[in-house]
Every structure is written in structure tokens, then in C-alpha cells.
Amino acid sequence: MVFWIGLHILAATLWVGGMMFVHLALRPTLTEVLEPPQRLAVWLGVLNRFFPRVWWSILLLHVSGMWVLLGVMGGMAQARLHVHLMLGIAWVMTGIFAYLYFGPFQKLRTAVAQQDWPTGGAQMGRLRTWVTTNLVLGTLVMVIGATGRYW
């Protein structure tokens, strides 16, 4: 239990904390300092490194969460409201991430390879919208997950 909850919280921190850093610190700085061609190239480098780690964190969250739920808590029927909410919102976030990874992110890669900056900028705008949505949902799930047992 301790091992799996430890893994769970580390994976959640990587995903949600990573989005928070990108949204609050990296994005405004890049917009201020760099012109579109360099900015999009930096974005691509950053996201090429961050997104594979997000896939790992999603896998770990689902496996560790299910391990605790099925192995320790006695399954879905015994689970309290906060665990149902966590699981439901986590699946929505996973769906959004899969969409942004296979949709706008792949189009951003192609646009940067072809030096098509307007298309790259438009795809970055879509990525921003969906990453911000996941950041809001992720922050909510962190609070729900950590406080739920005290409700």
C-alpha cells in the first residue's frame, strides 16, 4: 500500500506539477522573449521531452490507483465518493491527453519540420487550451484525492 500510494503521488506530481510549471512560468516567458520560429522550436523540444513522461505517469496513476482500489480497499463497491470522482476525472484527463498528443501535437511536429509557423502557432493554441483544461481538472483531482478521506 505505502509503495503504491507513493508511486501514485509521484506520478500525479509529475503530470500536474509539470503542467503548472509550463502554464505559469514557461509559456509567458517564451511569449515575451522569443519570436515565433524559435519559440515553436523550443516548444517542440520541451514537449518532446515532457509528453513521453506524461504517458508513463498516466500508466502509473491507473495501475497504482487500481492496485490500491482493488487490492487494499476491496473494489469499486466499497470505494467512497472521492475515489469514484478521481477515477472518472482521471479518465477524462487521459482522453484529453490522448487527443492532444495524437492530434494537435503531431500537427505541431509537422508544421515545425516544414517551417510553417502560422500552422504551428494555431496548433500551439489548441495545445494550450487542452493542457489548461487538464491542469484545472488535475488540480481538482489532487485536492479531491488528498482530502477525500476527511469528507
Total residues found in the chain within this entry:
151
Give which of 13, 10, 9, 22 is closest to 131, Cα–Cα.
22
C-alpha 138/C-alpha 34 separation (Å) is 29
Which are the contacts of 77, defined by CB distance < 8 A and separation ≥ 6? none
Which one of 42-50, 66-74, 103-111, 123-131 is the stretch in contact with ligand HEM (CB under 6 A)? Answer: 66-74
Query: Is 93 one of the binding residues for ligand HEM (CB under 6 A)?
Result: yes
Closest CB to ligand HEM: residue number: 65
State the minimum distance, in angstroms, from the CB of residue 102 to ligand HEM: 19
Q: Contact 130/93 with Cβ under 8 angstroms?
A: no
Instruction: Report the residue from 7, 9, 26, 41 that binds ligand HEM according to the rule CB under 6 A.
Output: 9
What residue ranges bind ligand HEM (CB under 6 A)?
5, 8-9, 12, 16, 61-62, 65-66, 68-69, 73, 83, 86-87, 90, 93, 138, 141-142, 145-146, 148-149
